[in-house]
A = this chain, B = another copy of it.
């Protein structure tokens, strides 16, 4: 076992210099640990160890522990939006057509634990790290919500769907899905016969979209909505 020196073989180096790869490795390790334990209960030493370096090394790449979680969210928040929003904005016609087109993309995104981990983290740590929530609001929520609201507004104007408050219709659409993602593992809500979150998500998508889309049908103009 003692292949330290001599013994003819190579001396295995104690560490390697890999400046390029470190930051991402550290962020990956941090995301895992923050997800498992939360930010406050994760030590910088733990992050460094899981990334295979010492605590001191982490401080070569990040000025503070706070900077780590911010970089984490920053890294995750970029590639999410962009193209999608543009497609939503320039669409014309029945909003439900577009929704159904995007279902597979959404479902795939939401089934990847490393992707959903970030918004969950933001929700949990927002109180002590307002900048995280701000980033997410500016670069994700603040772009997707208005785009979808416009989509519905235009759908109402074109007579494709029943006249509804567009901003609230967006919440009606996204609420069940986001709720499921955030709460599923917190409360371990497993519907009957569901092993991983995946199948449950598919079932939810199916049922919810059925109800939601049917609910948007332009009313047959037969009775007032409430007594």
Taking beta carbons and an 8 Å cutoff, which residues of A are in contact with B?
35-38, 40-41, 100, 122-124, 126-128, 133, 136-137, 141, 145, 162, 164-165, 167-169, 171-172, 174-180, 182-183, 186-189, 191-192, 203-204, 206-208, 210-217, 219, 225-226
Contact B38 A41 (CB under 8 A): no
Closest 4 CB pairs of A and B: A215-B215, A175-B176, A168-B207, A211-B215
Residues on B with C-beta less than 8 A from A38 are: 40, 127-128
Q: Which of B137, B162, B176, B213 contacts A187 (CB 8 A)?
A: B137
Residues on B with C-beta less than 8 A from A167 are: 191-192, 203
Residues on B with C-beta less than 8 A from A171 are: 176, 179-180, 204, 207-208
Contact A123 B183 (CB under 8 A): yes
Return A197 CB to nearest CB of chain B, in Å.
13
Residues on B with C-beta less than 8 A from A35 are: 127
Q: Which of B124, B189, B204, B214 contacts A124 (CB 8 A)?
A: B124
A sample of 10 more A-B contacts (CB under 8 A), given A137-B188, A165-B206, is A36-B127, A38-B128, A40-B41, A126-B186, A162-B211, A168-B191, A168-B204, A172-B208, A174-B176, A176-B179
Residues on B with C-beta less than 8 A from A183 are: 123, 178
Q: How many copies does the complex hold?
A: 2
Contact B186 A37 (CB under 8 A): no
Residues on B with C-beta less than 8 A from A124 are: 123-124, 127
Q: Which of B137, B172, B191 contacts A207 (CB 8 A)?
A: B172
User: Once bound together, how far apart are the Cα atoms of A180 and B35, in whole Å?
Assistant: 23
User: Once bound together, how far apart are the Cα atoms of A162 and B174, in whole Å?
Assistant: 21
Residues on B with C-beta less than 8 A from A168 are: 191, 203-204, 206-208
